[in-house]
Structure 1
Amino acid sequence: MAVTLKLATSLDGRIATAGGESRWITGAKAREAVHCLRAEHDAVLVGIETALADDPELTVRLPGYAGAQPARVVLDSRQRLPPDGKLARTAREIPTFVVATGEPDAALVAAGVRVLTVRAVGEDRPELKTVVESLAAEGLHRLFVEGGGQVAASFLRCGLVDRLEWFRAPILIGGEGRPGVGALAVAALAQAPHFRRTETREVGDDLWERYARG
């Protein structure tokens, strides 16, 4: 399984204001690049908090695009994904997975959502190595992780991120903003996840930095 983590942040690494405003930190050209990246992957993954806050489609929306849509994956231990939300409503058209730690919810299954049950760790969170293995067993080998901050940190802590696609907008939000990466429990610099920059390009007013695991 190849795992790519996408971050779209301010210069100081924030994905939203303290009040949760996040649309749009990056500009239209950066968002178009993200859609191109989605098209290169088998599945797009978010956490349940992102799914609840944004009610996203997680599809490739590019002019003239006629290729396959990536599967959508939501880390959702308690299966809080609304059956009437955009993801569940389109689950019969685009493969949609909820990764849970309990028995499948009947309403989600009835909507066409595939519920993958994995073992829990910590505060009833899906164990990510098992998640990756379960998705690979479904034929999903290129995973695009889109957030939010806690999900990003969880994948980084587990050493599962192979590539970073980082879009930085030329704004500053400050320390009260919501971080793009949550706590990593790094006590010494030697413990920090290391990446090497492979490319930098401008996309409109934003900067797109690409990294590979170092």
Structure 2
Amino acid sequence: MKRPLVTLKLATSLDGKIALANGQSEWITGEAARRQGRLLRAEHDAIAVGSNTAVLDNPQLTTRLEGRKNPHRVIFDSQVRLSPESNLAQTARTNPVTVFCSEGAETTVSAMALKSLHVQVLPVAKSEAGLDVKLALSLLKNLGLQTVLLEGGGTLAASFIRHNLVDTIEWFRAPVVLGAEGRPAIGNLALEHISNIYRFDRIDVQEIGVDIWERYQVKPNI
């Protein structure tokens, strides 16, 4: 395979939401599910999020597990909104960070500030559908990264699904409901006919604390 294997990790309400309309999201799932999510990070070479997650949540994207490796952090950030003061940028010297941006954005003042902190900023083509995630994955493979855990948000998840780049799904579902105004785990897929829906095979389901953990693999074309 010319790209890393991609696992989409979801932590949602029963109705598939990841946050309230105002962005509040802590904590939808329970501690047991969150710990398993940290273990998933340790099992993957890289973890990827979109710019909203990186900017609004200011995450570290580490495992926070003693004795376990941290993944290479990857941000899809077309306009290089990530702050040099962010947790990601400030720890890039010891835990690598790669930012994928639109062509030309790699020379902006913000991009140069990130580069001075050892953040790798790589331009890829951009269309109405967003950044070229296929090319980004190819570049990650060239960096020696074999597996990617895709954590958020909904727009980035939709982009990967639309390009058939999601191999497995790890879905942690909490016993709560956020309603139609909540932010969806998966954004617009531009589907116009039911025959075009994306299908996955469920390979496991189990209780994890108060939540349900479902695992899926992409359904092969027959």
TM-score (norm 2): 0.93
1:152 to 150, 157, 168: 157
SS in 2 for 1:176: coil
**1:33-89 CA-partner distances (Å, limit 9, x unpaired):** 000100110000000001111000000112xx3132110000011111000100000
Map residues 86-101 of structure 1 onto 2, 5 A cutoff: 86-101=87-102
After superposing on structure 2, the runs of 4+ consecutive aligned residues of structure 1 that deviate more than 6 Å are none
The equivalent residue for 1:113 is 119
Distance across 2 between alignment mates of 1:78 and 1:115: 11
The equivalent residue for 2:23 is 20
Match for 2:210: what amino acid?
D
Cα RMSD, aligned residues only: 1.0
- Kindly state the Cα deviation for residue 19 of structure 1 after the two structures are TM-superposed: 1.5
SS in 2 for 1:111: coil
The equivalent residue for 1:210 is 215
TM-score (norm 1): 0.96
Distance across 2 between alignment mates of 1:140 and 1:76: 19
The equivalent residue for 1:84 is 85
Note if 1:75 corresponds to 2:69: no
Match for 2:59: what amino acid?
P
Map residues 102-141 of structure 1 onto 2, 5 A cutoff: 102=104, 103-104=106-107, 105-122=111-128, 125-141=130-146
**1:1-54 CA-partner distances (Å, limit 9, x unpaired):** 200001110000011111211000001000000001001100000000011110
Identical columns (%): 48
SS in 2 for 1:79: coil
SS in 2 for 1:190: helix
Work out the number of aligned pairs and report it. 211
The equivalent residue for 2:171 is 166
Note if 1:57 corresponds to 2:60: yes
Distance across 2 between alignment mates of 1:2 and 1:20: 29
Map residues 31-42 of structure 1 onto 2, 5 A cutoff: 31-42=34-45
The equivalent residue for 2:186 is 181
**1:85-131 CA-partner distances (Å, limit 9, x unpaired):** 000000001010000122242100001101111111226x3201101
Distance across 1 between alignment mates of 2:69 and 2:39: 12
Structure 2, unaligned runs of 5 or more: none
More deviation, 188-197/86-95: 188-197
SS in 1 for 2:155: helix
Distance across 2 between alignment mates of 1:146 and 1:32: 14
